Amino acid sequence: MIGRLNHIAIAVPDLAAAAAKYRDQLGAQAGPVQALPEHGVSVVFIDTGNTKVELLEPLGEGSPIGGFLAKNPGGGMHHICFEVPDLAAAVGVLTSGGARMLGEAKIGAHGRPVVFLHPKDFDGTLIELEEVAPVRHPL
Amino acid sequence: MIGRLNHIAIAVPDLAAAAAKYRDQLGAQAGPVQALPEHGVSVVFIDTGNTKVELLEPLGEGSPIGGFLAKNPGGGMHHICFEVPDLAAAVGVLTSGGARMLGEAKIGAHGRPVVFLHPKDFDGTLIELEEVAPVRHPL
């Protein structure tokens, strides 16, 4: 069911400073700061070639990572995201097996349907599932 | 400097149960349990196609993940590992920039030289750097 690791998300208290560390100290490819007010975060993508690190900073009131940073003011690994070809099918399999979703599926920061699984069902790890666009082969 | 995300490591209290969840609920490719007594862990690799998830369970006394699981008994994301082509060069750049290493470079679980960076220098994220074997092209 799950496919590629789409990204690992790290919540940080200072996005510009975090991006600078990845770029200047680790020599990574760090993109620009992107504000995603509808998702309550600002984000910088680190391209590792095979996957992405998403550095997340809260944006606005009620950010979904506000509580995490209140508990972990220095930042920390927040979630990992796996790609699935069919989110509704994945949710059906998982819920029938007893796994709990954190809310309903919605459109995520990449414009694709996503859902989050309860971290208590997966060893303290918050897992996001993101439906990826099907690969279309020309005739 | 850093290249591919080699793996994300998740510390779990029950390795067989965690591997079964990834295999049976998430439909992932989960390998067998491997005991690595010289590293103080047992490990199951989840192959996501583009990278790996390493599920880690303490093995023996003084396991390097024992303290983490004492603080997080339900498990949690433990570290991420980036590949570097030259570990000594990477350590030189990082230490000259003020980053702190957790101990000296040593041979890691994959048989390659590794070092861990202090999580307080990288937004609460424990980062492992692993030197990858150079790609050898035939003449």
Q: Convert the pLDDT of each residue in B4-50 to its tens digit.
A: 999 999 999 999 999 999 999 999 999 999 999 999 999 999 999 99
User: What are B85-119's pLDDT values in tens digits?
Assistant: 999 999 999 999 999 999 999 998 888 999 999 99
With beta carbons under 8 A apart, name residues in chain B contacting A15. Answer: none
Number of domains making up chain B: 1
Q: Where in the sequence is the domain holding A69, given as residue range(s)?
A: 5-131
pLDDT for residue B135: 67
User: What are A77-101's pLDDT values in tens digits?
Assistant: 999 999 999 999 999 999 999 999 9
Distance of residue A69 Cα from the nearest chain B Cα, in angstroms: 11
- B33 part of a folded domain: yes
CB A19 within 8 A of CB A30: yes
- A137 part of a folded domain: no
For A100, the closest chain B residue by CA position comes to B25
Distance of residue B27 Cα from the nearest chain A Cα, in angstroms: 5
**Interchain contact, A123 vs B18, CB within 8 Å:** yes
- A136 part of a folded domain: no
pLDDT for residue B119: 97
- B139 part of a folded domain: no
The set of residues, in sequence order, having a beta carbon less than 8 Å from that of B136 and lying 6+ positions away, is: none
CATH number, domain of A48, equals 3.10.180.10
Distance of residue A37 Cα from the nearest chain B Cα, in angstroms: 22
- A35 part of a folded domain: yes
- Contact of B2 with chain A, judged by CB distance below 8 Å, is answered with yes
Residue A112 has pLDDT above 80, yes or no: yes
Residue B136 has pLDDT above 80, yes or no: no
Q: What is the mean pLDDT of chain B?
A: 94
Q: Other C-beta atoms within 10 Å of B68: how many? A: 19
Task: Please state, in angstroms and as integers, the Cα–Cα distance from residue A114 to each residue in A82, A124, A130, B77, following that order.
Answer: 10, 19, 4, 20
| A104 tagged catalytic | no
| Nearest residue, CB atoms, A75 vs list B5, B27, B125 | B125
CB A18 within 8 A of CB A76: no
pLDDT for residue B15: 98
For B76, the closest chain A residue by CA position comes to A124
| Active-site amino acid positions of B | 128
**Mean pLDDT over residues A32-39, rounded?**
95
Give the pLDDT band (50/70/90) at residue A4: very high
pLDDT for residue A12: 98
**Interchain contact, B5 vs A8, CB within 8 Å:** yes
Task: Please state, in angstroms and as integers, the Cα–Cα distance from residue A58 to each residue in A10, A35, A133, B5, following that order.
Answer: 11, 10, 28, 25
Residue A138 has pLDDT above 90, yes or no: no
**Which of A44, A46, A48 should we substitute to test contact with B (largest number of B Cβ atoms within 10 Å)?**
A48
- Contact of B49 with chain A, judged by CB distance below 8 Å, is answered with yes
- A124 part of a folded domain: yes
Distance of residue B139 Cα from the nearest chain A Cα, in angstroms: 27
The C-alpha atoms of residue B48 and residue A133 are separated, in whole angstroms, by 17
pLDDT for residue B109: 84
Residue A133 has pLDDT above 90, yes or no: no
